[in-house]
């Protein structure tokens, strides 16, 4: 099945059958990664550039590894050390990369909508690796892949997403993607960190973390994004931990054997204690592992579409 669009900008833009195709392709990619010989020739002769205006470990590294495993030539441009620091505009930077015969640009930017702005003006395919407080589609795809791997299907899964919903592009992309695939999403967090109209994305907004986690199959914590807060939105970290952390007492409300997720990086002792992060119920490291396979699948499907055009 061919992806409809040249770019992957958000879960909003993906149809359920496209999500299913990406997850199915990721299964094959995971088999390749586990086979002992990670090298394939799917992207031989193609070029991929990661353009990161914000910090990243998991997303950037997994896209770079995915590109290399599939034989593409890959390079990275980050704000520090590039002409972005001399004041070059986003459009000029993106066009400069585009005219160097780049096939796919993987971009992270602090402004919501930045990838949507450049995508129609470029020949390269754009993959949104996180835009401001809008979306982080490949994180949602790897989260959904991890849930599907554990439960076999996303249909009917009860997913609780807890914490700093307001600043979380992960919460938005997961809510949109999971509801499209038949899961039920409940969100909870401080009222000051709950966007107005969140329920319009298809989730239930709960008053307490306990209400969200009660009977859940999946309990997802979110990073408290202090760097995006211009003023403090909660009284203190100990108070945040007391009311919004996923601790043992809260987790005991979920279904027995429920899985614990976190997109990372985690503030240990804020969003959850290390005991939960490292517990047998935690699939946080599996999320990272699956990120490589999912990003291989995304790059492969976008490149297949380009080859057919």
State in angstroms the smallest separation of the CB of 53 from ligand CP.
12
State in angstroms the smallest separation of the CB of 76 from ligand CP.
13
Stretch that binds ligand CP, among 43-51, 202-210, 262-270, 301-309 (CB under 6 A): 262-270
Identified binder of ligand CP from the candidate list 59, 179, 267, 282, rule CB under 6 A = 59
Contact in structure between 144 and 20 (CB atoms under 8 Å): no
Complex with ligand CP: residue 195 or 291, whichever CB lies closer: 291
Identified binder of ligand CP from the candidate list 185, 186, 263, 300, rule CB under 6 A = 263
Q: Which residues of 98-129 are buried (b: 16+ CB within 10 A; e: fewer)?
A: beeebbbbbbbbeeeebbbebbeebebbbbbb
State in angstroms the smallest separation of the CB of 171 from ligand CP.
12
Residue 304, interface with ligand CP (CB under 6 A)?
Answer: no
Complex with ligand CP: residue 206 or 259, whichever CB lies closer: 259
State in angstroms the smallest separation of the CB of 157 from ligand CP.
20
Residue 12, interface with ligand CP (CB under 6 A)?
Answer: no
Stretch that binds ligand CP, among 52-60, 77-85, 252-260, 292-300 (CB under 6 A): 52-60
Hey, which residues between 134 and 153 contact ligand CP (CB under 6 A)?
Answer: 139
Residue 56, interface with ligand CP (CB under 6 A)?
Answer: yes
Complex with ligand CP: residue 130 or 195, whichever CB lies closer: 130
Omega before 265 within 30 of 0, i.e. cis: yes
Structure-token pair, residue 12: 């909003």
Residues 106-135, one symbol each (x = binds ligand CP by CB under 6 A, - = not), give ------------------------x-----
Complex with ligand CP: residue 205 or 270, whichever CB lies closer: 270
Complex with ligand CP: residue 63 or 300, whichever CB lies closer: 63
Identified binder of ligand CP from the candidate list 26, 105, 264, 270, rule CB under 6 A = 264
Binding footprint of ligand CP, residue count (CB under 6 A): 9
Where do contacts with ligand CP occur on this chain (CB under 6 A)? 56-59, 130, 139, 263-265
């Amino acid at each position: 099945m061919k992806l409809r669009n040249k770019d992957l900008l958000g879960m909003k833009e993906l149809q359920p059958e496209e999500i299913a195709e990406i997850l199915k392709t990721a299964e094959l990619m995971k088999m390749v990664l586990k086979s002992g010989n990670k090298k394939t020739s799917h992207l031989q002769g193609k070029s991929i550039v990661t353009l990161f205006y914000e910090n990243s470990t998991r997303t950037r590294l997994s896209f770079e590894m995915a590109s290399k495993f599939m034989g593409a030539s890959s390079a990275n441009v980050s704000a520090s050390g590039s002409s972005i620091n001399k004041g070059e505009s986003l459009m000029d930077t993106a066009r400069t990369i585009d005219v160097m015969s780049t096939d796919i640009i993987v971009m992270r930017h602090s402004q919501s909508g930045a990838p949507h702005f450049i995508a129609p003006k470029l020949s390269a395919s754009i993959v949104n690796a996180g835009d401001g407080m809008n979306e982080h589609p490949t994180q949602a795809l790897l989260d959904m892949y991890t849930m599907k791997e554990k439960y076999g299907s996303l249909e009917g899964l009860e997913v609780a997403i807890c914490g700093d919903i307001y600043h979380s592009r992960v919460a938005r992309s997961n809510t949109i993607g999971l509801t499209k695939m038949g899961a039920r999403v409940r969100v909870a967090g401080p009222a000051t960190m709950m966007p107005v109209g969140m329920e319009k994305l298809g989730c239930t907004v709960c008053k307490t973390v306990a209400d969200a986690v009660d009977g859940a199959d999946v309990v997802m914590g979110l990073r408290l994004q202090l760097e995006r807060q211009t003023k403090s939105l909660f009284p203190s970290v100990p108070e945040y931990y007391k009311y919004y952390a996923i601790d043992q007492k809260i987790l005991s409300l979920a279904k027995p054997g429920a899985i614990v997720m976190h997109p990372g990086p985690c503030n240990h002792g804020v969003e959850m204690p290390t005991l939960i992060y490292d517990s047998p119920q935690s699939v946080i490291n599996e999320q990272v592992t699956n990120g490589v396979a999912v990003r291989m699948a995304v790059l492969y499907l976008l490149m297949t579409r380009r080859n057919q055009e």
